[in-house]
Structure 1
Amino acid sequence: MPQDQQDRTIVNTDQLVDVDEATRRRAAGALFLDVRRRDKGGPVPPVDGAVVLDKARAAELLDPSSPELLPELEDAQDTEIVVFCNSEFGSDPVVGKLNEFGYRRVSHIDGGYRAWEATLRQG
């Protein structure tokens, strides 16, 4: 585990899904929310069809009453949503915000994008 994650805790563990389950949900039409940071200087490979969300603005972009609500989330309280960051530590706070705003079908990927990418490479 990277040093910066050793003292962090995942709150929404019951909403973690493995890569295979995330893949099934994606194939069934789930909305994928990509919350990986893009300000660290390195390239962030795109995930086809994923909606990019700036975690720093999660409160206003996820709040159904906000004029800045992501268009993909309008009337989406019952939409299947899969959140991913580089690891579950990054996606967990966003999952918490979605829960807080009443979204009912939210999950995040155990191991995050790193696990997703590793599975894709294994083919």
Structure 2
Amino acid sequence: MTSQAPDLISPTDAGARVANGALLVDVRSASRRVADGAIPGAIIADRHDLKAVFGVVSVDTPIVVVCGSVDGSRPVAEALVAEGFADVAHVDGGFAQWRDAGLPVEAAPAAG
């Protein structure tokens, strides 16, 4: 059985999905979130320990993954599809395009 590839969607489409209840998951590193900003309401997930977050999420939950680029979000989105999640998408252009589209971003607290 072949898994469906996760959708690559525009930041605007991602924002609309999140507004309609999709779980927004940010898999950028802590240093990138501090340097570039955070997305309010996003779940922070370690791309190398997805079970920590997704072990408690229903496979029917719509999920939008954002990283610094599609090279970071694609493997996470593909892993979620492989785990049986049915509605997974990732953001074309990553966080930078999310921010440039005027979607919500806030300064991350300084690491310390």
What is the rounded CA distance, in whole Å, between the counterparts of 2:45 and 2:57 in structure 1? 18
Matched, 1:106 2:88: yes
Q: 2:70: which partner in 1?
A: 88
Residue 82 of structure 1 aligns with an amino acid whose one-letter code is: V
What is the rounded CA distance, in whole Å, between the counterparts of 1:115 and 1:41 in structure 2? 14
Asked if the contact 1:34–1:53 (Cα under 8 Å) also holds between the matched residues in 2, the reply is yes
TM-score (norm 2): 0.78
Aligned residues: 99
Displacement over 3 Å in runs of 4+: 39-42
Which structure has the bigger radius of gyration?
A: 1
TM-score (norm 1): 0.71
Asked if the contact 1:80–1:105 (Cα under 8 Å) also holds between the matched residues in 2, the reply is yes
Alignment of 1:8-23 (within 5 A): 12=5, 15-23=7-15
* Structure 2: 5+ residue stretches without partners: 104-112
Q: 2:37: which partner in 1?
A: 45
Alignment of 1:58-77 (within 5 A): 58=50, 61=51, 69-70=52-53, 74-77=56-59
What is the rounded CA distance, in whole Å, between the counterparts of 1:110 and 1:95 in structure 2? 12
Superposition deviation, residue 38 in structure 1:
2.1
Give the alignment's Cα RMSD to 1 decimal.
2.2
* Structure 1: 5+ residue stretches without partners: 1-11, 62-68
What is the rounded CA distance, in whole Å, between the counterparts of 1:32 and 1:40 in structure 2? 17
1:119 to 82, 92, 101: 101
- How much identity, in percent, do the aligned residues show? 32
